[in-house]
Amino acid sequence: MVRVVIAGDGPLAAALADWYHQAGANVTELSFNRELEPQALAVAGGIDLLVVADSFEPEPGSVHSIDRDALGASLFRLTFLPFRVAALLQPELVAVNGRAVLLSRSDARMDLPDGVGRYLERPFRSASHALWRCLSIEWRDAGVSVGLIAAGSGATPSIAALTDAIGNRDESRFPLEFTDTSGSILGW
C-alpha cells in the first residue's frame, strides 16, 4: 500500500488526505501544531509521498501595517515548518525513494508585480521555494524527488489536476522548477 503523508492545515490538506484515502493509500496527516515534531518522528516504514499543503494566508497590506511579530509568525509557518517537516521525514523518504512536494501559490512569484502588499506572504513563500530548490539538489543522490507546484491563488484548485501534477515525477527538470498543475514552468 502506498504511504502518503499530508502536512499542514486547512481545506486543501483535508481534501488531499481524503482523495488519497479514497484512492487506497495509507494516509498520515500532520498538523502544523506543537505536536508536529514528535508526530513526524513517529512516522516509520517509508514514505512514498509527502505533500505539504498548508492554507496559511496572511492578510496583505501596506508596509506600514506590519511588525516584527507578524513577520516572525509568517516565517515560522510559511518557511520554517515546511522545511522542517521535510527534514524530519527525509530518512523515511530515502528508504523508499519517495517524493516530497510543496504546494505554493502562483502569486508568490517575485517576477510579478505586487499590487496589494504581500509582505507577510511573498517573502516567506519565496524563501520556501529557495529552500525546496536546495532540497531537490541535496536529496537527488539519495533518490528523493522534490516538487514545487502552484496550487492556485484564491480559488480552490481541482484536486484531480493537482494530484496528477503531484504524482508527475519528471526527473528531466533538475534542479527544481516552480510549475503549475499542467506542468508549465512558472517564474520565481
Partner 1 sequence: MKRSSILIAGASRGIGREFVRQFLAAGWQVHATARSAADIAALSQAGAIAYALDISSDASIAALADKLDGIALDAVIANAGISGDLELPIEAVAAGEMELVFDTNLFGVLLLVRALKTSLMAGERRLAMAMSSLMSSISANDWGTQYCYSASKTALNAAWRSLADEWRTDGIGCVLLRPGFVKTDMTGHRGMEVEVSVAGMIEVVGTLKLADSGRVIGYDGLDVPW
Provide the binding-site residues for partner 1, judged by CB under 8 A. Answer: 62-64, 67-68, 71-72, 75-76, 79-80, 83-84, 87-88, 90, 108-111, 113-115, 117-119, 122-131, 133-135, 137-138, 175, 187-188
Measured between alpha carbons, how far is residue 131 from residues 59, 71, 148, 168 in Å? 23, 18, 11, 20
Helices (H) and strands (E) in the chain, counts: 6, 6
Give the cell for residue 131. 529552500
Which residues make Cβ contacts (< 8 Å) with residue 106, sequence separation at least 6? 150, 152, 153, 180, 186
- Between 9 and 177, name the residue whose CB sits nearer to partner 1: 177
- Between 23 and 44, name the residue whose CB sits nearer to partner 1: 44
CA dihedral 12, 14, 19, 20 (to 10 degrees): 110
Q: How far is the CB of 71 from partner 1 (least distance, A)?
A: 5
Q: How far is the CB of 11 from partner 1 (least distance, A)?
A: 25
- Between 45 and 115, name the residue whose CB sits nearer to partner 1: 115
**Of all helices (H) and strands (E), which one includes residue 179?**
strand 178-179
Q: How far is the CB of 164 from partner 1 (least distance, A)?
A: 25
Q: How far is the CB of 36 from partner 1 (least distance, A)?
A: 11
- Between 1 and 68, name the residue whose CB sits nearer to partner 1: 68
- Between 16 and 88, name the residue whose CB sits nearer to partner 1: 88
Q: How far is the CB of 79 from partner 1 (least distance, A)?
A: 6
Residues in a beta bridge with 146 = 100
